[in-house]
Amino acid sequence: MTKPLVMVTGAGSGIGAATARAFAAAGHPVLLIARRRDRLEALGLSNAVCRAVDVRDRPAVAAAVAEAEALHGPIDCLLNNAGIAPLARIEDQDPEEWRDLLDINCLGVMNCMHVVMPGMKGRRHGTIINVSSIAGRKSYPYHDAYGASKAYVHALTEAARRSMSAYDVRVIVVTPGLTQTEIESTMLNKEAHEIWAARGADIGGGIAADHVARTMLFAYQMPQDVILQELVITPTRQEY
C-alpha cells in the first residue's frame, strides 16, 4: 500500500532536509517547501514534490498543498520546521528583524497548520509536528526575540493539541537543543554568533540534524492513538 503524504517546511537544509530524507526513506511521498527550490531538488528524493514557497504566503502554501494532494492523496503529517534565528539583545536589534522573525517563526507555522488542519479534522486522522527550540523553554543570552518566537510555538502547539485531540489528530512539539544546522547563517549579530559558537564548543558541538529527524519519524510511526506530546532532544553535555 502507498504510504501517506508528508509535508516538510524549511526542507532545503538542516533539520528540514534531514527530515525529508528520513520520511522519504521510510517510503512516504513528500511535499518539500523552502524558498530555494534548487536546494530541494538537490536532495534527489524520489516521490518528492518540490516547491519554492515562503511560509509567510498562505495562499502559496495552500496551492502547493493542493497540487501535492492531487498527486499523492491527503497530507497525513505536517512537519513545521521553517525558521530563522537572528540573535540579538532586544534593545540593540533592528525592529525589521523582529518582523521577519515573527512572520516566519510564528505566522509561518500557523499558515501551514491552517491549511492542513481542516482536512485532518474531517478525516479524524493526522499528525502535526512543530519544531521549536530549547530557547523557547529557557532563557539564553541574545535569544530575546528568537526565544519568544519559540515560546509562541510551544503555546500554539499545546492549544492546538487540546482542540484537535477530540478528532484523533496529534499535535506535537519537538524541542531541539544545540543542533548542527545552517541556521547560524541567519545570525547576523557578530557578538551573538561568537557567544553561540563558544557555547557549542564548550559542549562538544551540537547533535546531528539526522537525530532530530529520526526522533520525529519515531513519534509519527507510533499508533495514532498514542502521542508523544513534547520531545526534548539535546547533546548529552548540554546541561541547560
Where do the structural domains in the chain lie, given as residue ranges? 5-232
| pLDDT tens, position by position, 32-41 | 999 999 999 9
CB-CB contact of 206 with 178 (8 Å): yes
pLDDT value of residue 1: 58
The stretch 177-198 carries a mean pLDDT of 72
CATH topology of domain 5-232: Rossmann fold (3.40.50)
Is the confidence at residue 53, as pLDDT, over 80?
yes
Q: What is the dihedral of CA 129, 11, 101, 209, to 10 degrees?
A: 70
Local confidence band at 107 (pLDDT 50, 70, 90 cut-offs): very high
The stretch 184-213 carries a mean pLDDT of 76
Query: Catalytic residue among 140, 142, 146, 167, which?
Result: 146
Q: How far is it, in rounded angstroms, from Cα 178 to Cα 233?
A: 9
Local confidence band at 122 (pLDDT 50, 70, 90 cut-offs): very high
Is the confidence at residue 85, as pLDDT, over 90?
no
The stretch 160-181 carries a mean pLDDT of 94
Residue 142: active-site member: no
Q: What is the pTM of this model?
A: 0.92
Local confidence band at 87 (pLDDT 50, 70, 90 cut-offs): confident
CB-CB contact of 131 with 77 (8 Å): no
Is the confidence at residue 184, as pLDDT, over 80?
no
pLDDT value of residue 15: 95
Is the confidence at residue 201, as pLDDT, over 70?
no
Percent above pLDDT 90 for the chain? 76
- Identity of the residue numbered 22: A
Contacts of 71 (CB under 8 A, 6+ apart): 29, 49
The stretch 60-79 carries a mean pLDDT of 98
C-alpha cell at 55: 511560509
Is the confidence at residue 179, as pLDDT, over 70?
yes
The burial of 38, by beta-carbon neighbours within 10 Å (0-12 exposed, 13-18 middle, 19 or more buried), is given as: exposed
Local confidence band at 186 (pLDDT 50, 70, 90 cut-offs): low
The burial of 169, by beta-carbon neighbours within 10 Å (0-12 exposed, 13-18 middle, 19 or more buried), is given as: buried
Q: How far is it, in rounded angstroms, from Cα 215 to Cα 210?
A: 9
